[in-house]
A and B are shown apart, each in its own frame.
Chain A
Amino acid sequence: MVVLRAGLCPGLTEEMIQVLRANSVRTVVDFVSSDLEDVSQKCSLSYKALVAVRRVLLAQFSAFPANGADLYEELKSSTAILPTGSPSLDQLLDSGLYTGEVTELMGTPGSGKTQVCLSIAASVSLGLKQHVLFLDSTGGFTASRLYQMLRAQAEDEEEQLEALQRIQVARVFDVYEMLSALQEVRDRLSQQAVSCTGPLKTVVIDSVSAVIHPLLGGRQSEGLAIMMQLARELKMLAKEFSLAVVVTNQVTRDSSTGLLKPALGRSWSFVPSTRVLLESKGAAWEEATTRRSASLAKSPRQVRLLPGLHLCDGEVTRTWAQSRGRLPMG
């Protein structure tokens, strides 16, 4: 709700504001939705001047439509597919993590969500030499485990160290800290000249349920409002800066179908584009024999094996357009 004030746009003077306010026109919305002929008469203001102000206000505060063809052209080359570090998971995800989307990993405690997150961080940092932001809200991030993964993939110590340096970890204990960390990323990325070729391509959040769950159930709408605000931030970040955003979430059992579904309720369920269910079979303490399985619960694409796209560790990022044969491999 933007309140009208002098200087908000050219042509909007203090005297105008006073007289408008006296006639109950206080906000931008009030102004834009009023009958300007009516306002012109009541306030003795020039109709032409009012129309000019209205045009400028709309240009300033409304969103501009983009043409589909232009948008497609932009997306063709800026959408990339990032390897997760596990070829079979990549296959499940139709080649890997897509930038511009929010991907959710859901599972019970111990199902391997944090492991997959670490693997993604290692894979993107080491294999693609790109930066990763890791927001840890559970305390589950262990640098030693990450280092182990890097050492398994690269022999050169310098390479391992460089990879570690490209992973930025922030510990966030509540939703406000998380929102603030995301805002910081947004500010940083906005300042870069050409954002889609900047080094940060991945944001991993482990976990989203840890900071949201405490907010739900009490004064219903406030908690849900904050959750939707976080959802909005994540999706905007993914879309505007071509990032792959990965979030982890708990699971609950649906009372009517008996199937596992993501926690955080119905409103959250609409947020991620892709959802993977992680399960671990075998006893948790028998590390050596624990088998992990991943199944696709939601995807915007029909999952099909694209021939010749089996990504191995260290594979160069393919853009979506290249994988579809619409741009030559470069």
Chain B
Amino acid sequence: TCAAFSLLARLEGRSSLKNLEPCLFAEEGSPVHGDVIEFHGPEGTGKTEMLYHLVARCIIPKSGGGLEVEVMFIDTDYHFDMLRLVTILEHRLVQSTEEMIKQCLGRLFLVNCSSSTQLLLTLYSLENMFCTHPSLCLLIVDSISAFYWIDRSNGGESLNLQEMNLKKCANFLEKLVREHHLALFATTQTIMQKSTSSAESFFPLKLQHEFDTDYRPYLCKSWQQMVTHRIFFSKQFNSGNSKGFTVVSCHLKKNNVVKRSFSIAECGVQF
């Protein structure tokens, strides 16, 4: 009964995700439920700001131009800045009263996880919430790479043991996304040096002069394989460009790539 009820309710909310942020995607009509979108980039490139932008788009009521859906935000490194989100909401709401702000924030759920084991167990216990909240259609994990070094160290010499928890998390996330018709956004941090070999580059040789990224995959295969869109974030260093940040967005199944610029103001991300 849970699945049937939520499917019906979610099909209604499903189409509205298309208007979440079209500029982030290489083709129209994205994201849809079932999509797993990875934000990848070094520190200071706007990944978290982009998440706040998406959260604001979701929790603002339809009357204010938002999608009026609920969001589950899993914060794995105590990074979430509520006061920053409130500032963004203040700028985007026509009537930014305390009441309005709290009404919007009522659509946001936040959870802090301090280890990959706790993340896994939390995902299991959150399953119930997705059943009881049919308008909860966006799941965010910031970041999914937070436990990488600690897990690697705890796993000793065995790569299998090192990756075990994240693999289980990835598998369960896939199940949640599929069964409850969610869209998942997860950030991964650039913590490795870029591979110098062009053969190992993410992009085929012919595209490398146009799109170059600091990307070297390090998370387990289970995660890599469930990602449907990978979006690379980078910061411009030349002062001539007023839009300081860039995204290179790749639709992995269709092999579409697009590059766009954005800036970050008091009101958040602006394309």
Q: A residues bordering B, Cβ < 8 Å?
A: 1-2, 28-29, 32-33, 57-59, 61-69, 71-73, 75, 79, 221-222, 224-229, 231-232, 235-236, 238-239, 257, 265-267, 269-271, 273, 298, 300-302, 304, 320, 326
Contacts and interface: CB of A to CB of B under 8 A. Distances in A.
Nearest to A275: B44
B77 A67 contact: no
Contacts of A320: 83
B82 A75 contact: yes
Nearest to B111: A65
Contact of B121 (A28, A269, A270): A28
Interface in B69-94: 72, 77-79, 81-84, 86-87
B205 interface: no
A32 B79 CA distance: 28
A64 B113 CA distance: 9
B121 A32 contact: yes
Contacts of A239: 78, 112
Contacts of B117: 1-2, 28-29, 61
Nearest to A259: B237
Given A58-B121, A221-B149, A266-B43, A301 B108 contact: no
Given A59-B125, A236-B114, A266 B150 contact: no
A31 to B, nearest CB: 10
Contacts of A63: 111-114, 118, 122
Interface stretch (B30-38, B98-106, B253-261): B98-106
Interface SS of chain A? helix
Nearest to A298: B44
Interface string B153-192: 1100000000001001000100000000000000001111
Contact of B190 (A67, A257, A266): A266
17 contacts: A58-B125, A62-B121, A65-B72, A66-B109, A67-B109, A69-B105, A79-B83, A224-B149, A235-B79, A265-B191, A266-B43, A266-B190, A269-B42, A271-B77, A300-B81, A300-B84, A304-B266
B2 interface: no
Contacts of A62: 118, 121-122, 124-126
B188 to A, nearest CB: 11
A69 B82 CA distance: 10
Contact of B87 (A64, A69, A227, A301): A301
Nearest to A102: B78
Contacts of B111: 63-66
B152 A270 contact: no
Given A32-B121, A63-B122, A75 B153 contact: no
A297 to B, nearest CB: 8
B102 A69 contact: yes
Contact of B42 (A59, A61, A235, A266): A266
B81 A29 contact: no
A222 B153 contact: yes
Nearest to A54: B124
B248 interface: no
Most buried by B among A33, A226, A298, A304: A33
Given A1-B117, A63-B111, A228-B149, A71 B189 contact: no
B99 to A, nearest CB: 10
Interface range, B side: 35 or more
A72 B108 CA distance: 11
Nearest to A268: B43
Given A67-B109, A72-B86, A232 B114 contact: yes
* Pairs A-B, 6 closest by C-beta atoms: A68-B108, A225-B153, A68-B105, A235-B78, A269-B43, A224-B149
Contacts of B103: 69
Given A29-B117, A225-B153, A301-B84, A235 B122 contact: no
A330 to B, nearest CB: 17
A28 B165 CA distance: 13
B138 interface: no
B124 A58 contact: yes
B50 to A, nearest CB: 14
A319 B73 CA distance: 26
A315 B241 CA distance: 40
A241 B129 CA distance: 28
A68 B106 contact: yes
Most buried by B among A2, A61, A231, A271: A61
B107 interface: yes
Contacts of B266: 302, 304
A61 B122 CA distance: 8
A221 B43 CA distance: 20
A125 B83 CA distance: 26
B4 interface: no
Contacts of B124: 32-33, 58, 62
B110 A75 contact: no
A228 B249 CA distance: 29
B265 to A, nearest CB: 7
A59 B86 CA distance: 30
Nearest to B44: A298
